[in-house]
């Protein structure tokens, strides 16, 4: 999931004009969005080729996506870590499954560093960290079920790709499915039981077992981009669909089947 977080752009879209009526008065016109020629886009798939700073990605939906990166592009990788990384107060996104008795077991725990801004919801975008990854936004408020706006973004100009679920249990991190994801801060890990306090202050207990994947993001160099690697990239796309990547995340092999190009 994904999913920090910092590559989002703000655009001032829309204008409200006036028109003169027959009686000489002025009537307000319907606001019209004047959007830039580029749109925010994410893509997940296998890196097919690298030519200089140009990338060709075979997306998980079967299409080929062209992209480029620059020295300003944030590149990070997912790294598997142990339960020792689950220190009290760590911000996490926990993908869980629920049994018939109502108990939760964590399938994936993503450590999110330096969270700033709101979290989107059920239609989540890419996995990542606040502001730079593919999931969380900039200096916005907490996202709702359909993804919160980020840093004054005009919804008429940009696709609202949310990140990790913003309530107690939100949408799946980094995918468009309805997998339950709990976001909040970790409490005490006692044996196999982890306490997580969500964004509203409610406490939840989840079971951590041998099948739980614990993931942390680490900074990577451009040299880490290799043919055959599973990646997620986000950035602005021009009219030809070429993405100027603001962030690239190299995914763990076990996560190569998740994600999409949007």
Closest CA to 78 of 234, 257, 255: 255
Task: Report the pLDDT value the prediction gives residue 253, as an integer from 0 to 100.
Answer: 79
pTM above 0.85, yes or no: no
CA 189, 198, 7, 251 dihedral sign is positive
What tokens does 194 get? Answer: 């982890």
What pLDDT, in 10s, does the model give residues 209-244? 999 999 999 999 999 999 999 999 999 999 899 999
- What is the C-alpha separation between 96 and 207, in angstroms, rounded? 9
Domain-by-domain residue ranges, the chain?
18-255
Calculate what percentage of the chain has a pLDDT beyond 90.
Answer: 53
Task: Report the pLDDT value the prediction gives residue 27, as an integer from 0 to 100.
Answer: 53
Q: What is the mean pLDDT of residues 123-144?
A: 37
């Amino acid at each position: 999931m994904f999913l920090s977080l910092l590559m989002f752009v703000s655009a001032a879209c829309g204008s409200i004009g006036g028109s003169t009526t027959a009686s000489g008065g002025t009537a307000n016109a319907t606001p019209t969005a004047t959007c830039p020629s580029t749109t925010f886009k994410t893509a997940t798939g296998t890196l097919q080729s690298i030519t200089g700073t140009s990338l060709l990605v075979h997306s998980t939906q079967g299409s080929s996506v062209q992209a480029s990166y620059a020295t300003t592009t944030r590149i990070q990788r997912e790294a598997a870590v142990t339960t020792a990384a689950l220190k009290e107060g760590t911000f996490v996104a926990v993908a869980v499954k629920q049994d018939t008795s109502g108990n939760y077991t964590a399938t994936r725990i993503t450590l999110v560093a330096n969270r700033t801004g709101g979290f989107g919801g059920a239609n989540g975008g890419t996995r990542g960290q606040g502001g730079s990854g593919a999931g969380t936004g900039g200096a916005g408020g907490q996202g709702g079920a359909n993804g919160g706006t980020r840093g004054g973004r005009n919804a008429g100009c940009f696709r609202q790709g949310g990140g990790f679920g913003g309530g107690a249990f939100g949408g799946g991190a980094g995918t468009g499915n309805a997998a339950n994801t709990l976001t909040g801060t970790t409490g005490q890990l006692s044996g196999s039981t982890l306490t997580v306090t969500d964004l509203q202050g409610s406490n939840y207990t989840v079971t951590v077992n041998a099948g739980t994947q614990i993931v942390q993001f680490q900074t990577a160099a451009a040299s880490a981009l290799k043919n055959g690697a599973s990646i997620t990239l986000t950035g602005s796309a021009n009219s030809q669909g070429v993405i100027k990547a603001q962030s690239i995340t190299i995914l763990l092999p076990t996560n190569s089947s998740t994600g999409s190009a949007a």
